[in-house]
Structure 1
């Protein structure tokens, strides 16, 4: 028996495809943090377990969703992810047959502005998403949270399909959002930054993504990905610098 948990905010562009792909699950739980678009209305077409909450960060919010799950197995998805028929069958088989395994990592195939990316560190991008409810929990990180499972972990073969960035507008929105959260996370870890470090981090991220991890092989989208990754890193450390400056002035 499977519970699917999803957190949302203004995900009307993606959420219908995500929910339709897991309509076969025994329950779908959605935690929304104040969407101002049609997200909640769309979710109501697929599940009545929709909860509107405040926003404590990714890890705490997903843990809240997990605590509402009822069934033995839990599948955690982001609103821009899709389960195809092949992965559905593999998940169902794994839950039935894997009596001594508590969690499964699943490869994730992500698309960037319409192109599936096979390099740049984006593939196979194994993520732990399927686990026994009593054996797992989320870390309390406000961004880049993880599922921690006590027990044995195996891997599935078929990928989650991830519509990471649909168009440049979404790229810019996510760069701004995630760089802010990343800076806040680094601040709580006692990290410091300056303009020079921000520039170096951005340049290194571009070199690592485009050349060392071969995003160059993904054509124009690979170059776009490397640039946006570099921007995200640059702004994260620049915002960290600004947070320190603000602390000094307060």
Structure 2
């Protein structure tokens, strides 16, 4: 791969170039629909792979030659690496379990066809799919996602999980087109993923000096179930909605239970989660 790729040219009718950035590891069973949803639409597809061993890279290389094989520094640093490799005026971050719907593609194309794009960041609705069916409400997974943004001035923080984009300056716009999100292969994957994230976030809280009590995990479980099932409407999604509300409540429970075990054990904070290391890296 050349270290100096040629300049991007926007696909007509867009006047502004578009980079799609993805990070992944061992996603061979589901990455192709994500890549296919942006093929012949993005001006470049950038993929940072953290050591896949299941054939993911063979699939990725059918769609792009802008591929990097790296270590795993955490979600925030890996997102930042992909952002720094992008050349487009605008960047769209896409995960292996997501698909850009035709409606969303059309809306983004129309926006980037303008001589002067009015917004620095664009949010769009997530369309959560749980075990083969799209949810009506989705709970926390229905929250609009800030996935399209101006490259200049954007950055990702150096966090291990739940890396929230630091917006470039400018107004925020909204699309009605949906970004589909089929996150869980099966129930075990669902539980394992939440348990893993809960442990990472507990370590982050502990490194930042957060502390809790032994009853907090139970209180957080009850509160989270109330919010997700009733306030955010998962009650309207039948059995899938109920199951997701319980799993999200378990996620909250595990996060604070893990934090409590760290503090009572007197464990040394993991340096990866120390606040002084949370500043974004610079090119």
Same fold (TM over 0.5): yes
Gaps of 5+ in 2: 1-16, 270-283
Q: How does 1:1-250 map to 2 (within 5 A)?
A: 1-24=17-40, 25-97=42-114, 98-122=116-140, 124-147=142-165, 148-248=167-267
Q: Give CA-to-partner distance per residue, 1:45-88, whole Å, 9 cap, x none.
A: 11111111122221111011000001111111111110122211
Tell me the number of residue pairs that the alignment of Structure 1 and Structure 2 aligns. 250
In structure 2, C-alpha distance between the alignment counterparts of 1:55 and 1:245, rounded to whole Å: 29
Misfit runs of 4+, over 4 Å: none
Q: CA deviation at 1:194?
A: 3.5
Deviation at 1:197, TM superposition (A): 1.1
Mark the structure with the bigger radius of gyration. 2
CA distance in 2 between counterparts of 1:173 and 1:136 reads: 31
SS at match of 2:155: strand
Supply the distance in 2 between the matched residues of 1:236 and 1:89 (Cα, whole angstroms).
39
Cα distance in 2 for residues equivalent to 1:228 and 1:172: 7
Output the TM-score relative to the length of structure 1: 0.93
TM-score computed with the length of structure 2 as normaliser? 0.83
Q: What is the CA-CA distance between 1:124 and the residue it aligns to? A: 4.2
Residues in 2 aligned to 1:212 and 1:86: alpha-carbon distance in whole angstroms: 28
**Alpha-carbon contact 1:109-1:125 (below 8 Å) kept:** no
> Residues of 2 paired with 1:183 and 1:123: CA distance?
21
Once the two structures are superposed, residues 111-134 of structure 1 have per-residue CA deviations (whole angstroms, 9 ceiling, x without a partner) of: 112221232534642111111111
> Residue by residue, what CA displacement relative to the aligned partner does 1:159-210 show, whole Å, maximum 9, x if unpaired?
1001122321221221121111111221222111343111211121112111
Partners of 2:243 and 2:215 in 1: CA distance: 23
How many angstroms does 1:144 deviate by? Answer: 1.5
Decide which structure has greater helix share. 1
